[in-house]
Amino acid sequence: MAKYLLKRLLQSLVVLVVVSAVIFFTVRLSPSDPIASITKGKTVTAQVREDLLRRFNLDKSPIQQYYLWIGGMLKGDFGESYQYRQPVSLLVSQRVKTTVQLAALSTVLAILIAVPLGIVLAVKANSFTDKALSIISLVFVASPTFLIGVIFMLVFALRLKWFPSMGTGSFRHLVLPSCAMAINMVALTSRITRQSMIEELSSDYITAAYAKGVGPLRIIFIHALRNAVIPVITITSLQIGGMLVGAVLVETVFAMGGLGDLLISSIKSSDYPVVQGVTMMMIVVYCALSVVVDTLYAIIDPRIRLQ
Amino acid sequence: MLKAIIGQKTSKKNSYGKLLTPSFAISLVIFIAIVVLSAFAPVFATHDPNKNELQSSLAGPSKSHWLGCDVNGRDLYSRVLYGGRTALMGALGVVGLSIVLGIPLGLVCGYVGGLADTLIMRLCDVILAFPTLLLAFLFVATFGRGITISVVALGIVYVPMLTRLTRSLAIVEKNKTYVSAAISLGYSPLRIMYRHILPNCISTILVQLTLDLGYAILDLSSLSFLGLGVIEPTADWGAMLGQGRLYLLVNPYLSTVPGAVIVLSVVSLNIFSDCLRQYLDHTQVQLPSFEEYASRLEKQQKPQESGA
Q: What is the pLDDT of residue B230?
A: 87
What is the Cα–Cα distance from B219 to B5, expressed in whole angstroms? 18
pLDDT one-digit tens code per residue, A153-194:
888 888 888 888 777 777 888 889 999 999 988 988 888 888
Confidence of residue B300 (pLDDT cuts 50, 70, 90): low
What is the Cα–Cα distance from A122 to A105, expressed in whole angstroms? 26
A151 contacts on B by Cβ (under 8 Å)? 256, 259
| Residue pair B271/B24 in contact by the 8 Å Cβ criterion | yes
Confidence of residue B293 (pLDDT cuts 50, 70, 90): low
To the nearest whole angstrom, how far is the Cα of A150 from the nearest Cα of chain B? 7
Residue A87, phi then psi, degrees to nearest 5: -60, 140
CA of A158: which chain B residue's CA is closest? Answer: B249
Confidence of residue A229 (pLDDT cuts 50, 70, 90): confident
Q: What is the pLDDT of residue B234?
A: 87
Q: Do B143 and A239 lie within an 8 Å CB cutoff?
A: no
Residue B11 pLDDT greater than 50, yes or no: no
Confidence of residue B1 (pLDDT cuts 50, 70, 90): very low
From residue A9, alpha-carbon distances to A4, A5, A231, A295 in Å are: 9, 6, 22, 10
CA of A287: which chain B residue's CA is closest? Answer: B129
- pLDDT, mean over chain B: 84
Most A CBs within 10 A among B128, B140, B225, B251, hence the mutation to make, goes to: B225
- Count of residues making up chain A: 307
Mean pLDDT across the stretch B264-277? 89
pLDDT one-digit tens code per residue, A129-143:
888 888 888 888 888
Confidence of residue B45 (pLDDT cuts 50, 70, 90): confident
Confidence of residue B3 (pLDDT cuts 50, 70, 90): very low
To the nearest whole angstrom, how far is the Cα of A241 from the nearest Cα of chain B? 5
Q: What is the pLDDT of residue B294?
A: 64
pLDDT one-digit tens code per residue, B233-264:
888 999 999 888 888 888 888 889 999 999 99
Q: Which residues lie below 8 Å from residue A206, measured CB to CB, with a gap of 6+? A: A200, A219, A223, A224
Peptide bond just before B233 cis, omega within 30 deg: yes
**What are the extents of the domains in chain B?**
21-42+72-307
Residue B213 pLDDT greater than 90, yes or no: yes
Confidence of residue B101 (pLDDT cuts 50, 70, 90): very high
- Domain B21-42+72-307: give its CATH code: 1.10.3720.10
pLDDT one-digit tens code per residue, B116-139:
999 999 999 899 888 888 999 999
Q: What is the CA radius of gyration of chain B?
A: 25
DSSP β-bridge partners for residue A87: A80
Q: Do B126 and A18 lie within an 8 Å CB cutoff?
A: yes
Q: Do B137 and A27 lie within an 8 Å CB cutoff?
A: no
